[in-house]
Every structure is written in structure tokens, then in C-alpha cells.
Structure 1
Amino acid sequence: MYPGQTTGKGPSTPTQIYQQPPRLLIVHIALPSWADICSNLCEALQNFFSLACSLMGPSRMSLFSLYMVQNQHECLLPFVQVKGNFARLRACISELRMLQREGCFRPQGTSLQLAVEDGLQQFKQYNRHVTTGAALTCTSLEITVLTSQPGKEVVKQLEEGLKDTDLIRVRRLQVVEITKGVLEGMDSASPGEESSNDESSILGTDIDLQTIDNDIVSMEIFFKAWLHNSGTDQEYIHLLLPSRAFSNISRARDNPMCLKCDLQERLLSPSLLPGTADGSLRMDDPKGDFSTLYQMASQSSASRYKLRVIKALKSSGVCESLTYGLPFILRPTSCWQLDWDELETNQHHFHALCHSLLKREWLLLAKGEPLSGGHSLREPTSTFYVILPSRSPTLLVKAVATRELMLPSPFPLLPEDPPEDSLKIVESTLDCLELEPTYNPLQVCSHLYSYLSSTSAKPQGQLHSSWESRALRKGGQLQTNRIRATVAPLPMTPAPSRALKMPAACKAPSEGFFQPFMEEEAEEEYPSAP
């Protein structure tokens, strides 16, 4: 199980390996930096949410909220469900584009702190009033502050401002400094690499500090990390290798060396997205996936899914036509339930395995061991995988064909000496091509973002969540298209009386709209200022 999810007695469901915690994004950009950052940020957000809102299958993201901090904090989007809600998210991004880009102001020192506290208050009240759906399990929140100011100064500002704030519901608080650089080394980069997403330091009260470049691709990669499973409550894969402590083969298999690993996707499956080549293959049912590794790992709870290595192969000994499905990545586990010594030893052994396989130019052939699920007269089928080492401390896992899946391939060997005239024609044709040393997917665009944005433009289902609908029923209809929070925001300055005062930036268009909803919580959530 992951933080923010309920605990049950049965095996974990496949949904749990996908779902990420609710996220609060606070854009803390001062003028005039906003003019340089706004376009890239909004484009990256729209591209990312065109994917996140369109993904079929289990929901990757549950809730999202957006705040803007310039001269004061402002809630541009209260917490909303992400999946199927692209129309509303795009409207919020459009509002972000229209914010002031020029001029000057005197920012209030407490604005960022108030944005964090206000977002926490929104999250608390959302959980209190939502009574159905996955939001019931959303008990912890991840907060990301995007800033154009020096990151260390922002961290110190937050540490000081939040030292007396109850952050028990905050699973992670990170400050991300947007630098003025552009994406360099793009030719050698690859999607999903987290070099720009690594934590550069952890300061004081566990506030993560990192940097990203001010360009669309870097921001996209940062946001796409939100689609990864980041839970550390369990490891997912046990990689079993014959133990050198036993000379007898049968005993070595019965007492293997076990490397505990986490599993990570390398790619988003095209079958999860409409309009792609494989869009007809729906993935709503996890059992329908032709590559079962991720689902099997997510279903194993009491006993981890096991990959038992049965032999080694030469690196050149596997034909690519025999592999199928999506590739996955194995890395040493970061499960917090293991003690530090075990984590460190496990990581050292894992890195040594990667190093040794590269040195020997070997691959591993592994067999997926079926999960124990009662007694059956029929022997369960097995899936086999090839495990490839990488220069990074990871292993690539791909499903490989077995005898039952093979179709006839009666192709003769390539003739050694093709006709001279044909050879010359083809050689001259190939000479016209531009030669690249590696394939860089970041330079290949399928126009998927624009397709998803256009097909998801219409609202899907009810735009308002149930807690907003409750306010609508009690207070009448909203008379504006501008998205606003439906709970009372924190005051910009200490209130002199018990009366609730909303800052102008967050005030509802109708004074009576939110009043019935706010009266119930005002006494408890917003006590009078000292």
C-alpha cells in the first residue's frame, strides 16, 4: 500500500501501483521573470494534462490544485479530479496565460506561506465533504513550488514561515527553481530520464530542492514524473539468482540470492491513449494487457512477484523479433520498511550485477513464477523475460517469446553478393540520408498532444466535484467562468475581527454564493486572530 490509501486484507489491486497522491502546484514567479517563463510553463502543463486526463485504465493522478503567487496568493484551481477533466484544466491554464507579465510590485513576504496553508485548508475541506469515489483515500498531499527566485532562499523562507504549521498531511514539499538555461545536450537525452529531476539537496525540514531548465521539454519531463509510481511501502520484484554458496544445482535454486527491486515503466503504453496506433486495445481491464509484468507485480502483496534467473545469454544471442510488449525498468528498491543495512547491501549487489553483465556482455533469461493462489489441477502458464544491463544502475526487462507463441519463419539467409547494379543504386540512396549516432525520441513528434487536446476539449461528465455542487445547490448558480476556490481562503493579513474577509483576488463574484458553505466551517477552521 502507499501513503494516502486504505489498507485491506486481500492482495493489493492493480490500481494501487498507478495512483499517485493529490498534488498542489504553486507557481511562485516574480515579474519580470514571468514573461520568459509563462509560455513554456503553460505549454508544458497543457501537453502533460492532455496525456494525464486521457489515459485509460486505472487513474494515475487523483486530485490537482493550482495556486499563483505574485504580489499575493491566488487560487486558480481548487482540487479537482484529473482523469477526464481536461476541459477544466485547460481553462485554468488559459487563465494562467493571461496573468500580468509586465510591471512591478512589492511582494508580501507571507504570500507563499499563505498559499501553502490555504492549499492545505482546501485539501482538508475537500476530504471532509467528498463522500464517494477514490478521494476518500487521499489523506496525504504533495506540494510543489515552482519559483524563479533562488531556490535556497525560497526554502529558507518556507522553513521559517511554516515552522508553526501542522504539516502532517504533507507527504512531500519540494521547491523547484526554474533556471534561465535552455535544454542542452538534447541529442543525447532520452524521455523519462530524471537527471534534471534529481534532488540536488534536502534542507532543514525535509524540503526538497531541485532545478529545471526554462524550456518546454524539461518541464514536460518534470511533470511526467508525476505519472510514475513513487510509493516506497513495498518492493515489487524479487530477482532470484542461483547462490554461489551451494555447489549443488538443486540446492542453489532452492536457496537463491534475492535482489529486491522496484519496477518502473519505460514508456506509456499506446494502447492507453485514443488516437494512437494501438488505440483499439483497451486497457481498462488489467487482465487484458499483453505484457503482464506490471500487473502481476502490483497484485502481489504478501509474497512479492518473483523473476527466477535460469540461464545467461550472450548479448548478441537474442533476436529483437522474439521480444514483445512494453519494456520495464528494474532498479534497487527504496522500500522504507527494510532496514538501512539491507537497503545498502541490496543496492551494492544490484550495481555489481549490472557491472558484471556489461563486462561479460551477457543477458539474463528469467522465468516469472506464478503467484500462489490456491490449489489447481492445471499447471499455470509461465512468462519468460530477458534482462538487459544498462550504463545507468538499472536493468531493462522485456518479455520474450516461447515455443507456443512462435509462428513459422521460413526465410533463407541473406545472399552474400547482391547484384552490382542494385547495390550501387541502394548505396547512393542511403548516402543521401542524414546519419544520427543515436535515436532521440525527444526530437520526434507525433502530434499526439494536439490531437488529445482537441479531442478532450469538451467537458466529460460533471465539471464540478460533489463538494462544489453542494455549494451550488445551497447558494445558487455561479455567474462567471472564472474558476475559484469553494472554501474560504486564508486572509492576507491577520483579521481584526471574527468576520471572514476574502482577499480581492480570491473573492467570489456573488457575495451570497459561498456563504452557506463557509458558515459551517468558519468557526472551526478560521478562528479569530489574536
Structure 2
Amino acid sequence: MSMDNRKRPTGSSNSGNMVYWSSSFPRQPARVLIVETLPPRWSETCTVICEALDNFLSLACSLEGPCRVPLLSLYAISKQQECLLPFVQVRGNLARLRSCVEELRSIPGDGCVRGVARGGELLRQAVLDSMQQFKQYTRHTSTGNQANNHPYMEATVVTTQPGRSVVRQLEMGLKDADLASLKRLLVVQIENEADWGQENPPPEEEHIESEEGLMLGTEIDLQRVENSAFAMETVFKAWLHEQGGDREHLHLLLPSSLDTPVPVCLKCDMQERLISPALIPLSPNLGVKTESVRDFLPSTKGTTNQSIAPQRLKVIKTLRADGVCESVLYGLPLVIRPSTCWKMDWDEMESNHNLFHALCHTLRSRELFLLLQVEPTQRSTAGGSGVFSHYILQPSPTLSLLMKPVASRELLLPCSLPVSTQDPAPDALQVVQRCLTQLDEEFVFNPLTLSSNLYQHLRSRTLLSQPRYPYSMQPAAAKRDQSQPLEGTKNTGSRQPRQPRNQGRTVGANSKVRATVAPFPSSSSHTFSSFSSMGPPPAKASRPPLTLLSSGSAVRRAPAPTQQHQENENDEPMVIQ
């Protein structure tokens, strides 16, 4: 699975941070789930499938940001074909989807079926019926751009029969059907513990090549999984990946070698490893949302600093340092050091310092990490069961620890990358080695050597956003005009209303007011006259005459780049040199 390379920023409503996703999310395919509920195996797989589906829908319906699963339809195949759920939108529809899962759970698992052939025929009918319903749905929702949001569908068949046998039956049954709207057909075979332990687990997914070219343009894959809720959740969570693939996502540029002056370009795709916690509408005190440092700070509404209790993190495991995968860590890291709170006495502070030093030394010498779990407070568990956030503590050479949030099972997305057991091609190995020899090597990484051009960008952005006034005014003069009462007027405790332009031409107090203001440009004189003809404004709305110019047409802002221009700039792949 791959993703479209165009990146588009959009704000998350619960975190106030920028969350990035690609423009291929609106083109996610509609999903059809066909579950085989044939007895007697249904009694073994019913609880597993329903629990995994219930967990997945709870997550998919609650995710903010782009819609990753736009439409879902569910079929049950037992003694007959039954459509439990026609195509419905997933987001914000959890109650209806959960009722459908309960209906699937209520299908009895005992009885008998005529044979495997009968089950294969019902699977074929379910695939054809789902494509017909998809055509009808897209026809009724073809107004505007909605038809382009889900231009095709993907079907997933969950069965306990031998997977290759089901694939052959579907190939023979669908060879004469119009499969233009079906882009992919996945057959998931659930194996029991006895079959799973007899031989080494097969590859997670294998592509089945049709000898007769029966489904032109349609992929058919076979996936074998064990009979567990986690394995089935992995199958469903694959739907959350971006389904693009129109172009590569980034170009990795290696320096040119001595033989060829052209840089070596590696074209790559990107894939999410976990769901960003910023897309989950939760607000624990110290928890899964760590996209901003504000998420670490406890809520101070209605409380004082003295009444806020410290966050409590419980150490639950020790981890080998080389056994922690960096891809499951996310968010902002925090440096943990011994406390220097002034309320602690000297003996307590010294004892605490010694214990902290001993912990850092032990973790470093044994190459261990600590796994932490946040103890939920009574306030967070008042409305439900609470969210248990987890963190990892890493030792450092200094007297400190580094704390990083770690993703839990609910946030992880499937990522089955093959382990390379073969040596690379000799010619490719020589090219890469020659390119890497052109780079400087550092034994200790120093981030002070990196510059992101942030200061220049902020300055240029600020200058472009400032209004362009036709004249300038000294800050001191402006301050005097606003703070000191006008000469020749009696200070009554409130500002005097500004006199119209056609009055006050005699030499007096008002002439001094006009002398402190720069002459109005000729292009804006008609604007000032239109305001003057309205007479003096109320006293509470009185302002210095200078501000009247800013309401005219002379004040202009620099034009901001349009959204279309931004999208065109983001159409190119990301280039990393």
C-alpha cells in the first residue's frame, strides 16, 4: 500500500496543532466486508471477528482529520446471503455500526451446511451484490464532487475454508462479471491453533496470479491469519492506510560520485506507523496527546499552583535498549532531572539526588530502558474507564533521563516489512558506497550545526503581513496624543469628541491638534470628507484623527498566496538531499 505524495496542512480541532496528511485520503475506497458464518467453525471465530470489528470501528468513527474509511458495507454468509449493512458513512455513525456488529454476533454457530461449493456460490453472489449496491450509491450521491471521493471499492472476504480453494471459486464465478469498480479483492483465511502451529507461518499476504487473466485490473490477494482479535484488528487497520500510489512520495538524493556528476536519486514511498494521538478527541492530564508541550501541563482552571498534585508514573517493566523500536515513539521528548523544589529540606533533596543518580547509572551500565504507565486521576476516570498512557525512560550520560511517549496497541498500524536475507547487487553496492564517501562523517551529532532558515522565514512572513501605511508617525507623538489632554480643553475625565473638518479653522486649540497629524494624501481626501459630513461621533467612540486614515482605501495588505498556488507547490515529491 502506498500514498499520494501531495501534502496538505489542516488543523486539528482538539489540539490546536498542525496535522499533515496527503490529498489521497478523500479518494479512499469504499469497503465491503463479507464474513463467512458457516457452522461449525463460526462458533470458534465469532467472538474474535466481532471483537476486532467492534474495536476497529470505535477507533475509525472517532478519528478527526481526513476520513480514512468513507463507506462500509457488511455481508454475512451462512445458509444464505444476508446484507447486514448497506453502504453507510463510517464517521459519526458508531451507534449504527455497533448495532450491526451485534447482529453479526447473534448469528448462531451450530447447524450444518450442504457443502463448501454452496458457500463459494454465496460468496460470489455477495461480491456481485456489493458492486451493484456501490453503483447505485455513487449514482445517487453523484452531485458535486462526492462521486470522486470514492471512485472504487475493495472487498474483503473472511473465511475459515482453505484460502486457495476460495480464491479459485471466486475466480471461476467472477470471470464473466464486470469488475470495473472493484479494484482489489482480499481473501482472509482464519486458521485455528492446530493448523497454525503445524508449519511456519506463511507470508502475511501473497498475490494470486490468475492463469486466465480473469480479473483484468483487479488485484486478488490471500492473507492467512491466526484466530485472534489482534490479528483481525491488523487486517481491518490496513484500511486506515492511504490508498494512493499514483506517484512516488519523496526523492532521496545521494551526492554524486567521482564517475557520474549526476546525483543518485532514490524514489521512495512513505507509510504511517501509527495513528497520531492528536487526531483522537481525548484530553488526559498527561497522555496520548503530546504533539505540543501544553499537553504535558495539567489543567490549572479553578486551581492554584500549590494545589496541583504531581503527575504519577508507575514503572511496570524494564526493557532492553536494543529491543525498542524507535518507530513506535512519538511526540515531544521531555528531559527528566532530580527536583530542586524549595519546599524540600536538604536531607530529602540529597537523598532524592542520590537515588536518581543511582537509577541513571544502573540503566546505563545494564543498557536498560524503563516502561512507565500513567496512573489516571479520579477526575479522568469519573466519566469512564480513563486512558492509560505509556512512556519510555532512556538514560543519558548526564544526570538526567529522557522520557518519550510510546504508542499502544490501539494506535499501531500494520507494518510488515520484509527482512532482507540476500546481499545487495554488487554494482548497486559500489554506486552507493562511492556516493557515501563524498559525505563528511561526524562521531557526535551536534544539532547546533543545523539551520532551518526559520528566522529568515519568520521575518519575511511578518513583513508581508504588515499593512503598508502612506506615512509614518513618531511613537512618542502618538503616545502623547493618546495620553495627554488637548490644550485649551477642560479635562472632564472623558475624551472630547472630535470636531468635524469644516469647523475649527480659527487659530486655537483645534489647530494644534491638526498640526500633530501628517497631511492626508490627495487619494484619500474623499474618504475623509465622507466621514466628516456625518458629524461628530459619540464620545465613547472618539479616536485620534490618525485612525480615520486606516479605515480608508489607502491601507492595503500584501496579497496572500492562494490555496490553489499552495496545492500546486505541494504536487511535487518531497526531496531529501
TM-score of the pair, normalised by structure 1: 0.49
Output the TM-score relative to the length of structure 2.
0.46
